[in-house]
Amino acid sequence: MPGCQSDSSAIRPIRFFNGTCQMLDQRLLPAEEVWLDYSDYQGVAEAIRSMVVRGAPAIGVAAAIGAWFGARDITAEASEEFFAQFEKVCAVLAATRPTAVNLFWALDRMKSFARANLDRTVLELKIGLEYEALAITQEDEQLCIKLGRQGAGLIPDGARVLTHCNAGALATGGYGTALGVIRAAVASGKQVSVIADETRPFLQGARLTAWELQKDNIPVTLICDNMAGYLMAKGEIDCVIVGADRIAANGDVANKIGTYTVAILAKEHNLPFYVAAPISTIDLSLADGTQIPIEERDPREITHLKGIQLAPEGIAVRNPAFDVTPQRLVTAIVTERGVARGDYLKRLAELARD
Ligand code: MRU
């Protein structure tokens, strides 16, 4: 099957126009492509919580749009009072998912804009916040394209690349991080094929990565999570690339549950393990990965599949949605500003400062 030669993808999870937004319901993919309408911040908060929209950068974009919806509906006439209410809107959006730092990054950017412009009228603040939300949305796709180009050289021609979860166009403003690197490698003329872990329990690999790569004509083969070691041992995987939800100052990486296991397998088989993430995913306030909050989700995601019960009633369940891969297992971290290797503490701080 021919690779996609265009350095773009038409897939986007969020459309923002005329004071409203639509989100592609990622819970229903690939069976149905349904766009849901949102025009208030409570609705957007629920979309993030229930994973209509998911993936760290896309959560940040959605939160910025939700914050603007909330700002628009505030009736206060004085800027100080407006800001007090705006902070409450942002607090509701911030309480949706704890691990992806892009959520907090986007809300902080919206609040910083408002705080810095408190000498303006409430109407001017509302207009400014709309522009800020629009900028966050558009910038995200552009920086993914830059990130992809930064990382494309890491992927050899002919590579069979394993990825976990979905760090693609669906998880960002467009184009993707880990899948953005793959798209950029393909666009540069390389033959690349992808092995997609299904990613239990929410099946982002089987449902989303498989769907979007197939749509863009990039060869993709789906496996269950527990097959990666077998394929590595047989020499059928050349490298691994994943996204991230939060990267601590020392380079420890929180990403979808199962990423840590893949990183250990990669180490055992001497395969490079790459992480692709925008600067907004780096949290320099946390010294290491032990401080990253890990979301625990509803046990039903494990005990049930599309409403069908798979496990005995009342069974004890753990459902951590993310794990932390220690930096010693990470070969390189690709950002839109460059590639970090080795001394992550120093290099990530430099990249974040640039
Ligand atoms: O629970 P999800 O689907 O939001 O988790 C998504 C991931 O773990 C992605 O790998 C990460 O957010 C990077 S997306 C570019």
Work out the pLDDT band at 354, boundaries 50, 70, 90.
confident
What are the tokens at 291?
């401080």
Respond yes or no on whether the N-terminal peptide bond of residue 2 is cis (omega within 30° of 0). Answer: no
pLDDT tens-digit map of 243-254: 999 999 999 999
The DSSP code for 3 is P
Q: From CA 17, how far away is CA 31, in angstroms rounded?
A: 26
Asked if 66 contacts 132 with a C-beta cutoff of 8 angstroms, the reply is no
Tell me, letter by letter, the H, E, C secondary structure of 163-209.
ECCCCEHHHCCCCECHHHHHHHHHHCCCCCEEEEECCCCCCHHHHHH
- B/e letters for 248-267, b = 16+ CB within 10 Å, e = fewer, are bbbbbbbbbbbbbbbbebbe
Work out the pLDDT band at 319, boundaries 50, 70, 90.
very high
By annotation, the residues acting in catalysis are 245
Closest CA relative to residue 4, chosen from 148, 150, 146? 148
Half-sphere exposure (CA, 13 Å, Cβ side) for 76? 16
Which pLDDT value is given to residue 2? 41
- Cβ of 165 closer than 6 Å to ligand 1, yes or no, is yes
pLDDT tens-digit map of 162-198: 999 999 999 999 999 999 999 999 999 999 999 999 9
> Which ligand 1 atom is the nearest neighbour of the CA of 256?
8
pLDDT tens-digit map of 2-60: 444 456 679 999 998 788 999 999 999 999 999 999 999 999 999 999 999 999 999 99
- Cβ of 164 closer than 6 Å to ligand 1, yes or no, is no
Centre of ligand 1 from the C-alpha of residue 143, in Å: 17
Mutate to test the pocket of ligand 1, among 204, 333, 335 (most ligand atoms within 8 A of CB): 204
- Cβ of 9 closer than 6 Å to ligand 1, yes or no, is no
Half-sphere exposure (CA, 13 Å, Cβ side) for 309? 5
Distances in Å between the Cα of 177 and the Cα atoms of 103, 147, 253 are 16, 7, 14
Q: From CA 197, how far away is CA 30, in angstroms rounded?
A: 16
Centre of ligand 1 from the C-alpha of residue 166, in Å: 6
| Residue ID of nearest Cα to ligand 1 atom 5 | 55
pTM to 2 decimals?
0.96
pLDDT tens-digit map of 81-92: 999 999 999 999
Q: Which residues contact 105 (CB under 8 A, 6 or more apart)?
A: 60, 280
Partners of 274 in the β-ladder: 241, 332
What are the tokens at 210?
């498989």
Mutate to test the pocket of ligand 1, among 101, 245, 261 (most ligand atoms within 8 A of CB): 245
Q: How would DSSP label each residue in 261-299?
A: HHHHHHHHTT--EEEE--GGGEETT-SSGGGS---B--T
Asked if 301 contacts 319 with a C-beta cutoff of 8 angstroms, the reply is yes
Work out the pLDDT band at 1, boundaries 50, 70, 90.
very low
CB atoms within 10 A of CB 5: 10
> Which ligand 1 atom is the nearest neighbour of the CA of 168?
15
Centre of ligand 1 from the C-alpha of residue 89, in Å: 24
SS3 335: strand
Rounded average pLDDT over 121-131: 98
| Residue ID of nearest Cα to ligand 1 atom 15 | 167
Centre of ligand 1 from the C-alpha of residue 83, in Å: 31
